[in-house]
Chain A
Amino acid sequence: MAASISGLLKPWTPRVLLVRWSRYNPYYLEPEVRKEAYSRPESELSAEEKEERELKKLRPIKAATNSTTSSLFNDPVVSKFINMMMKHGEKTLAREIMMQTLENIKRKQVEKYHKATDGQKEGIECNPYAVFHQALENCKPVVALASIQKGGKYYQVPIPVTGNRQRFLAMKWMITECRDNKHRRTHMYEKLSQELLAAFANEGNVIRKKHELHKMAEANRAYAHYRWW
């Protein structure tokens, strides 16, 4: 797949390596952080995976960021949420808040578990990571509105939203809601745990915001043909 750009991307390693900057030469490849990818024997790999491995032997690899680890507890969704909560680069504070939130969720769920009758006990989810993931899933919008110009006027057109955009919107709504619309004397972890547990049960302000977006999209469904992709 040689093309004109590859003429410029010669195997060039600078004398001073760009480790902290985010702008790498596109010649550099992404690092593989997961342990399982390296413990697979040669026989299990398909032809293209073998080709990729051969390629990785010859190309320079980007440095992994500080927040990625190959441990069992590395969760990319939780890491992204921590980064979005972080202000002024204070990662330790953001991480502390997240850990306190998860602990708080666990405490509340365990309290509910012990108070529940035997029939209800199985329905209560005590794993805070499961609660967090399910709450975010419940907050993700399916369709969003986009401002599209047609005939001089701008219309709000419903468009499908997938993947990263959904995740971003869910996390953004969660964080802004906890920062703005709660009582000012409560701690962030307390506000977050309340909102996450409400989202887990499909209640609360973030779920309401998602439903309102869906309602607006439904109201504007006549303009769906203004999309061209």
Chain B
Amino acid sequence: MKHNLSAEKVSRLLSRENGKPVLKPNRPLILKDSVGNRKPRKGEASCVTEMSLLMACWKQNNFVDSLCSNEINTFYTCVHKAERQKLLSGELIENCIYTQTSFFQLIKSLRP
């Protein structure tokens, strides 16, 4: 709606000359070129098959970890891959604004 009002009206709403200003914007009053998400799409659980294999192994071996080390390793690799995919999928990158430092930190965390 703001782009319909002229610049003088906007500056009048923001000015402090007539008592308190009507508007107190915490972001610049500029229209974006896209609409925001009202409901982020829910994904599905990752690594369920690996988890079920791991639990079957545990059930067989009475929860001794040393005998299930292969399943545990595959589970961990799956979890790390899923985490990295979540970061790279761009979901976060679209929604968050990254600074230079956090960009380097993201790169470091993604390094294998």
Contact = CB atoms under 8 A, between A and B. Distances in A.
Interface of A: 1-6, 9, 26-27, 29, 48, 52, 55, 59, 138, 142-143, 158, 160, 162, 202, 211, 214-215, 217-218, 221, 224-229
Contacts of A227: 44-46
B43 A160 contact: no
A9 B79 contact: no
Contact of A229 (B46, B66, B97): B46
Contacts of B79: 160, 162
Question: Is chain B's interface secondary structure helix, strand, loop, or mixed overall?
Answer: helix
A148 B20 CA distance: 46
B76 A221 contact: no
Contacts of B66: 202
Contacts of A225: 44-45, 48
Given A143-B51, A162-B76, A229 B45 contact: yes
Interface residues on B, range: 20 to 34
Contacts of B42: 228
Given A214-B58, A221-B55, A160 B101 contact: no
B45 A27 contact: no
A134 B48 CA distance: 28
Given A202-B64, A224-B51, A226-B45, 17 more contacts: A1-B99, A3-B97, A9-B99, A26-B99, A142-B54, A160-B75, A160-B79, A162-B76, A162-B83, A214-B58, A214-B63, A215-B63, A218-B55, A218-B58, A221-B51, A224-B45, A225-B44
B107 A48 contact: yes
Nearest to B104: A52
